[in-house]
Amino acid sequence: MERWRAARRQERAGRVRGARDTGPRATDLAAEVQGEHGPWVVLMPGLGMGAEAWDEVAADLARDHRVVRYDRPGLGRARAERVAEPHLHDEVAHLRRVVHEVVPDPARVWLVAHSMARFMAEAYLRSDPHRVAGLVAVDGSVEEDPRLRWPVEDDLRHALAAGLGWLPLVGRRVRSALLEDAGYTRMAAELLRLRRVLPLPAVPMVLVVAARPWEPGSRRWVRRQRHLAQRHRVELRRTRPEEPLPRIRTVVVPDSGHLVMRDQPTRLAAMVRAAVAAGPVPGETGRG
């Protein structure tokens, strides 16, 4: 957490002094906009994936939204390279740069984050609440306690990521995906620490959950997502008792795998469109 605070202090100081930011610019992250009018939506791909994962959803939403996509370092068409396991504050800085350079201030964006990108979206929401109108998490990652993850699995991930420099035949995208995978547990833990110091803003959220009832663990996965939605409501009641509770709900998508944007692109685009149109609904708690 001290590293997060130091990074934020350095960012603020740089803006005040006019210092040059050495991080990748939006163009280095292949940021692009589709659509000419409507609310702003930022589509964030999951672990190891590029912006092209959203092609069908982006084309649908661009009819009446301005859709922003970008690639994290080492993925897709990004010129920026992934050279180490990611930290959450670095990924938030990338998202902040994209929003700052692409979306005119003071416009607010809807974040649509798949899988592990939900960590980044929530962290950005807590860090820059004035730029976020709402969040749609698409089968987003949930880690109640990253310390409970199997330690041998994490050790193997770190060892493999550390040895990638010796494997010149490993493709750029594969290397970047493995580095992101190795940093998964750390970013989950960083988000839990961030929740203790930065409150959750009162914005609407939709947690889209992929569910195939015949698959082992499907019911438990849905319960974990609903529990996350309830934790968000409890936090808002505790930290913002005088404010109306925004709409926070879960939507289960049956017969879809984890890649909802590819399995059910039309349905997912409709969910995002409906969430943006509804906006915050005072007093709406939903059962989740």
CA distance 280 to 246: 5
Mean pLDDT confidence for 207-231: 93
Among 9-18, 37-46, 109-118, 123-132, the minimum mean pLDDT is found in: 9-18
CA distance 200 to 147: 23
The answer to whether residues 73 and 94 touch, using CB atoms and an 8 Å cutoff, is yes
Mean pLDDT confidence for 5-20: 41
Mean pLDDT confidence for 209-220: 89
Mean pLDDT confidence for 33-44: 98
Mean pLDDT confidence for 33-39: 97
pLDDT at 149: 52
What angle do the packed helices 2-17 and 184-197 form, to 10 degrees? 70
Mean pLDDT confidence for 18-27: 62
Mean pLDDT confidence for 204-232: 94
The Cα-based distances of 3 to 9, 10, 16, 89, 126 in angstroms read 10, 10, 20, 8, 16
pLDDT at 214: 80
CA distance 107 to 131: 7
pLDDT at 145: 85
- Per-residue pLDDT at 98 exceeds 70: yes
Both tokens of 147, joined, read: 């310390």
Model confidence at 16, in pLDDT bands (50, 70, 90)?
A: very low
Among 85-89, 171-175, 181-185, 221-225, the minimum mean pLDDT is found in: 171-175
Mean pLDDT confidence for 179-185: 92
The domain locations on the chain are: 2-278
Q: Which residue, among 91, 83, 72, 89, has the nearest Cα to 28 in the 3D structure?
A: 72
pLDDT, greater one: 58 or 161: 58
**Beta strand 132-138 pairing with 32-34:** unpaired
pLDDT at 212: 85
DSSP SS3 for 27: helix
pLDDT at 100: 97
* pTM for this model (two decimals): 0.86
Both tokens of 26, joined, read: 């939006």
The answer to whether residues 115 and 93 touch, using CB atoms and an 8 Å cutoff, is no
Query: Which CATH architecture is the domain 2-278 placed in?
Result: 3-Layer(aba) Sandwich (3.40)
Model confidence at 174, in pLDDT bands (50, 70, 90)?
A: confident
CA distance 92 to 121: 8
Q: Which residues contact 234 (CB under 8 A, 6 or more apart)?
A: none
Mean pLDDT confidence for 110-123: 98
Mean pLDDT confidence for 249-272: 96
pLDDT, greater one: 145 or 42: 42
Mean pLDDT value across the chain: 86
- Per-residue pLDDT at 17 exceeds 60: no
Q: What percentage of the chain carries pLDDT values higher than 90?
A: 70
